[in-house]
Structure 1
Amino acid sequence: MTALKSLGENRYEGLEEIVAIARSVGWGAADILQSYYRGDRSTDDLEVENKKDGPVTAADVAVNEYILYNLQASLNSPDFGYLSEETYKSQTPAVEQPWVWIVDPLDGTRDFIDRTGEFAIHIALTHQGRPILAVVALPEAGKLYYATKGGGTYMETREGQPKPVRVSERNALEELTLVVSRTHRDERFNQLVQHLPFKNKHYVGSVGCKIATIIDHQADVYISLSGKSAPKDWDMAAPELILTEAGGQFTHADGTPPKYNQGDVNQWGCLIGSNGHCHDTLCAQASEILAQLDAPA
């Protein structure tokens, strides 16, 4: 295959060939997840193991093995490193290669177990800590989103041709809809949201599914606020790129972009993804509210 090269200024040679591989792997991973999800299996059959960071099922492990094996076999290059939810604890703090695949085989394990259908597969390729290629597959929706840096975001189904997608044009803060989890909301997050002027809330599981609702115009804003724990690199890397290449923005509340594969896989602080039109205002308001919430009594 063509070697992947950085040409500077977010330009990369050989990326289109690699995104075709990632899309194929994404669909194959979706098939495996659906074989567990739609098969005649009870929750007990999924071999749920409750770990510190959340539940893990046999489906997580099977899909993780499939993705890593097929990426490595297809690319066959020592230039790529791999960071995945199911294997990172056995790795060094940061993968040394400049090109690193960051994989979440099952984003939304709790939704998978609870049968909401709102789970996703994340596959991202990062270069020096920033995503340049992303695939987010939604098996139950029958959709796969993919993006390359500077190349836009596309959505495809199993039957149809890929089509470019863009976020909504809604640009009045009080008209925006916030997408939030049904669970995973602590009191600090609730207080932050109560002080922001959103018109509606849309409840969806999994980060990948949440970001897809922004691309699909069902919502406009997603907020992640770490508490005792934080989302991980694999939760954010692929959804970030499909959102930003669709015209949205995804930053910390101070406006800086996330960095990945930095040793600590946790994404601490407040992260905001939006359709972009009120992003700076949202970041400023969120920062001000958090400063007040965190001020000594």
Structure 2
Amino acid sequence: MTLPDPLAQQILRIAKLAGDEIMGIYEKDFDIYEKQDTSPLTEADLAAHKCIVKELKELSDLPILSEESADIEWEERQTWQQYWLVDPLDGTKEFIKKNGEFTVNIALIDNGKPTLGVVYAPARQEAYVGIVGKGAWIENDEGTKTIEARQHQTGEVWKVVGSRSHQSPEIKNLLEQLEGETELVAMGSSLKLCLVACGEAHLYPRLGPTSEWDTGAAHAVALAAGAKVTVLDPDNPLDPNAEPLTYNQKSSVLNPFFLVSA
């Protein structure tokens, strides 16, 4: 993939290097880990984390917040204007199930907003890149193409990203407020946000716990593709005046509930 931004090109390269580290462990027989203290998931997480941190430090002097180094005090974090937000391996269940729907996530955050993001799914050989203000792209075995979120059209079935399992009452409440038929689209990890970004779904409501590193990179992709990511109030899930989701604005790294929409 050739991108109109050298920095994004470098971040894509780093994500792919981390993906190679993960795949070296993913492709092993997990049975070999039964007598060890370290699970394959933990080993893959740490290997990807070390790879990303090493490469990012060679690339820039910006601080790094990663799921594998999340113990940085708020007193220090609140002074950051720009920083890298990293989830070296998102999709625990997908990794263990070996269904391929797990991702490497690297985002650049500027004043609480994601401005650049790379989501790489190494088992699928698929990458999503978003540069806010410049565009969004997907790279897979069909080549590279631009992507954009697609608004729902009157009479069209609403495609809503959801869980493969039981839906919560809050999600049912949201679906009931949509005019017309709905179809749930299942996907793992941060790829859920990318489904809206590339026009394969109209909405992704998240009414469960996530951390900021779970969403930062895919949030950038969604914004770059023309989607919105807003704080979701379960009592008013389709509020047109909902506030945008932001980062590093409080001591907790947990996200509020949110809605990705085209």
- Superposition TM-score, scaled by structure 1 size: 0.74
Deviation of the 1:143 alpha carbon: 1.2
Counterpart in the other structure of 2:39: 48
Give the AA of the match of 2:176. Answer: H
Counterpart in the other structure of 1:5: none
1:135-190 CA-to-partner distances (Å, cap 9, x unmatched) read 01111221111111201101224784x4211123433386211111235x674444
Do the aligned partners of 2:228 and 2:244 also contact (CA within 8 Å) in 1? no
Mapped partners of 2:246, 2:150: distance in 1: 26
Query: Is 1:82 paired with 2:64?
Result: yes
Counterpart in the other structure of 2:96: 113
- 1:173–1:119: structure 2 CA closer, same or farther, 3 Å change rule? farther
Counterpart in the other structure of 1:156: 139
Q: 1:241 aligns with which of 220, 243, 246?
A: 220
Do the aligned partners of 1:182 and 1:205 also contact (CA within 8 Å) in 2? no
- Equivalent position SS for 1:195: helix
Deviation of the 1:124 alpha carbon: 0.3
Identity of aligned residues (%): 27
- Equivalent position SS for 2:225: coil
- 1:172–1:234: structure 2 CA closer, same or farther, 3 Å change rule? farther
Mapped partners of 1:16, 1:217: distance in 2: 23
Mapped partners of 1:110, 1:250: distance in 2: 24
Q: 2:194 aligns with which of 212, 230, 236?
A: 212
Q: 1:57 aligns with which of 18, 39, 42?
A: 42
Query: Is 1:22 paired with 2:11?
Result: yes
Matches within 5 A, 1:167-186: 167-172=149-154, 175-183=157-165
- Superposition TM-score, scaled by structure 2 size: 0.83
- 1:131–1:87: structure 2 CA closer, same or farther, 3 Å change rule? same
Do the aligned partners of 1:100 and 1:126 also contact (CA within 8 Å) in 2? yes
Do the aligned partners of 2:197 and 2:225 also contact (CA within 8 Å) in 1? yes
Mapped partners of 1:39, 1:131: distance in 2: 35
Do the aligned partners of 1:125 and 1:132 also contact (CA within 8 Å) in 2? yes
- 1:199–1:33: structure 2 CA closer, same or farther, 3 Å change rule? same
Mapped partners of 1:168, 1:191: distance in 2: 23
Give the AA of the match of 1:258. Answer: L
Give the AA of the match of 2:73. Answer: T
Q: 1:124 aligns with which of 107, 115, 124?
A: 107
User: Could you list the runs of 4 or more consecutive aligned residues of structure 1 that deviate by over 6 angstroms after TM superposition?
Assistant: none
- Equivalent position SS for 2:104: strand
- Equivalent position SS for 2:6: helix
Mapped partners of 1:86, 1:150: distance in 2: 30
Stretches of structure 1 that go unaligned for 5 or more consecutive residues are 1-14, 50-55, 276-297
Task: Give the number of aligned pairs.
Answer: 244
Deviation of the 1:202 alpha carbon: 1.2
Cα RMSD, aligned residues only? 2.5
Query: Is 1:102 paired with 2:85?
Result: yes
